[in-house]
Chain A
Amino acid sequence: MTDTSKNAGSTTDRGTAVGEPAAARPAGGGAFLDVRDLKVHFPTDDGLVKSVDGLSFQLERGRTLGIVGESGSGKSVTSLGIMGLHTAGQYGKRKARISGEIWLNGTELLSADPDHVRKLRGRNMAMIFQDPLSALHPYYTIGQQIVEAYRIHHDVDKKTAKRRAVEMLDRVGIPQPDKRVDSYPHEFSGGMRQRAMIAMSLVNNPELLIADEPTTALDVTVQAQILDLIRDLQKEFGSAVIVITHDLGVVAELADDILVMYGGRCVERGPAEKVFYEPRHPYTWGLLGSMPRLDREQQERLVPVKGSPPSLINLPSGCAFNPRCPYADIPKDDVTRTVRPELTEVGSRHWAACHMGQEQRERIWTEEIAPKL
């Protein structure tokens, strides 16, 4: 990748992350969803925006992966990249540059025929979007939109498809589905709309479901219902699920594994309980510290991660998190500002990218961070 040369000061080229099992896998084999060294770059007038810059992860059927990170960390860009939506219908815009490999059930999507990928969309992989009001077409009834989603991939008449739509609406808990199927999105409440959206995305029994901030636009009371619904449906359909969110609470509800993104890269990845209870990256500590909790004393203030998200055009050299990291000066020789840390195994199936020694991080976490949470 010649792009990295623009990034003055970055000494190591990223290469495949050390300790990433993906690197050793034979092509096409392995996990149900296997993303390897995914890069999504957008050329703009100001420079190349590296929204995702070398991301790898795997996901099995029946498992849920939570991708967390702040705005602009590359979460949504990753999901749209898997769906192939960066390349479909980008009229006159400068094309996104995508490299790496995305294996879905043995098919590599980035090199596959776009029409083949289009046919996988909606049938093998489906997506739930953040704001169900804007994600549903205002001029078509809920039923028409679900029927359409079904009939793209199934050669059935409208009646059969509508029966299927009613069945799905019933399944996602919409009362009187045979009546509501003819309603328009604006006649639904926010929670109902998201249920309808979920019904639409699951109508073809997709093997992979990507939920991009599925509860962000919803009332708190409705959020829990939607999360329960996604979890129940996953059990029922056995799909692989990716939940993208900035809300650690959502991840805690749903995810088996957690991937923390910062500046377009993975900074920590591991089983949910590990990332929550033994996090090994200062950014993850920051995220946990800024999470409101009911069991905490009200006088205590939330600790935000200081500073602002990095520029994706010109990432800080070395560790992208170093300008915001309170521990940046601990590693010797200014290594945090010159060398980009690679993901290293810090436990079973648990990786983090930090220059500090493992014992040191363990000590900081147990002595300084954890007691305050």
Chain B
Amino acid sequence: MLAYLIRRLIAAAVMLVVIIVVVFGIFFLIPKWAGIDPAANFVGKQADPAAIEAVRQKLGLAEPIHSQVWEFFKGIFAGRTYVGGGDVTNCAAPCFGYSFRTEQEIWPVLMDRFPVTLALALGAALLWLLLGVSAGVLSALKRGSVWDRGAMVIALGGVSLPIYFTGMVSAAIFIYGLGWIDGQFVPLEESFSGWMGGLILPWITLAFLYAAMYARITRATMLEVLGEDYIRTARAKGLAEKTVISKHAMRSTMTPVLTMLGMDIGALIGGAILTETTFNLPGLGQAVLQAIRTQDLPVILGVVLITSIAVIIANLVVDILYSVIDPRVRLA
């Protein structure tokens, strides 16, 4: 078990380094191929060549790619000092550089937005896990019944309707129609009830989509597991049916659900762009959308890296949980 853990941790660390290098490489090459001068971009319109040159010096854009990657990599772990154009700027670790648009340091901006996205992703995940898994299990146990068919029709709706549709409809009803909530995001530090009020609709909207997918996979897996020989063995032992389901069948059913959960949460932490835009939540998704519109490469780079890290960590957690559930994984 310990050996397995260490192997997984090392693999995760290696993956992280590879991602940083590759992602930086891509973002270094894109402006080059697109014929955009990042330095000119940074300085803005009507810049004189001297200012552009100064920025180029300061950001090290004239250096060869390997030394730029190295500087960027070092910046993340040890901080970075930009020297050029007559002044010195200190960027503390983890340094992801500066926004071309706002000229703000990227890391604090991202960290400002991160809790919003995290709360959105985790809250929705909790909700869809509860809803999706229980609906899926019930559907499987009552296969062919009115309940099963009804739940599966709703689930089909859930996977087919886009977030901006369900989100708009729920906003129209609960914010503008009934007026139960005002729909404004309030940071947790200011007011818990306000925070809940701002997130409840995004949670439900996001959870509806995912709960539908989870209900379908849970139902399918549960039906498959119920046909397994070891379930028959459990009954042959004289186990009560509810123990057969809750202990023997559930444990096997949870493994694919867990795999999905890890990937989904990881991807959502990188920003639920549609949900955040629909509900105007100041999360990472919204930030990256703005950055894409304005070609603010360093911000995009930062968000991509955070997403990657989130996916890696989520997968690491899933791998560990997986090995707790399924002993065969520990050998692999």
Contacts and interface: CB of A to CB of B under 8 A. Distances in A.
Contacts of A122: 236-239
Contacts of A135: 229-230, 232-233
A120 B241 CA distance: 14
Given A91-B142, A129-B232, A149 B328 contact: no
A91 B143 contact: yes
Interface stretch (A54-62, A82-90, A233-241, A365-373): A82-90
Given A88-B235, A91-B142, A138 B328 contact: yes
B237 A121 contact: yes
Contacts of A129: 229, 232-233, 236
Nearest to A88: B235
A114 B151 CA distance: 30
B232 A85 contact: yes
A152 B140 CA distance: 26
Contacts, number: 86
Contacts of B240: 118
B327 interface: yes
B168 to A, nearest CB: 37
Contacts of A126: 236-237
A153 to B, nearest CB: 6
B226 interface: yes
B142 A134 contact: no
B239 A148 contact: yes
A122 B233 CA distance: 10
B68 interface: no
B25 to A, nearest CB: 42
Interface string A98-125: 0000000000000000000011111100
B236 A121 contact: yes
Interface in A142-175: 148-149, 152-153
A92 B148 contact: yes
A134 B230 CA distance: 6
A180 B229 CA distance: 22
A92 B143 contact: yes
A131 interface: yes
Contacts of A138: 230, 252, 326-328
B233 A136 contact: yes
Given A134-B228, A184-B328, A92 B145 contact: yes
A88 B232 CA distance: 9
B16 interface: no
B240 to A, nearest CB: 7
Contact of B237 (A149, A184, A186): A149
Contacts of A92: 141-145, 148
Given A136-B233, A138-B326, A152 B238 contact: yes
Interface in B318-332: 325-328
Contacts of B244: 89
Contacts of A141: 327
Contacts of B328: 138, 184, 186
B74 interface: no
Interface residues of A, number: 32
B236 A91 contact: no
A137 B255 CA distance: 14
A152 B237 contact: yes
Nearest to A121: B238
B248 interface: yes
Given A91-B226, A92-B145, A137-B248, A148 B237 contact: yes
Given A91-B143, A92-B142, A134 B238 contact: no
A18 B244 CA distance: 42
A199 interface: no
Contacts of A88: 235, 241
Interface in B73-105: none
A186 B232 CA distance: 19
A181 interface: no
Nearest to A115: B240
B241 A137 contact: no
Contacts of B326: 138-139
Contacts of A118: 238-240
Contact of B252 (A85, A139, A149): A139
A127 interface: yes
A125 to B, nearest CB: 9
B229 to A, nearest CB: 4
Contact of B230 (A91, A93, A127, A136): A136
Contacts of B237: 121-122, 126, 148-149, 152, 200
A83 B236 contact: yes
A122 B239 CA distance: 8
B234 interface: yes
Interface string B195-233: 000000000000000000000000000010010111111
Given A135-B229, A136-B233, A200-B237, 10 more contacts: A83-B236, A89-B245, A91-B143, A91-B223, A118-B238, A121-B238, A129-B236, A138-B230, A138-B328, A139-B251
29 contacts: A83-B236, A85-B232, A85-B235, A88-B235, A91-B140, A92-B142, A92-B144, A92-B148, A118-B240, A120-B238, A121-B238, A122-B236, A126-B237, A129-B229, A129-B232, A131-B229, A135-B232, A136-B233, A137-B233, A137-B234, A137-B252, A139-B325, A139-B326, A139-B327, A148-B237, A148-B239, A152-B237, A152-B238, A152-B239
Considering the complex of A and B, which 8 residue pairs feature the smallest CB-CB distances, nearest first? A92-B143, A122-B238, A134-B229, A121-B238, A122-B237, A92-B144, A137-B230, A135-B229
Interface of B: 140-145, 148, 223, 226, 228-241, 244-245, 248, 251-252, 325-328
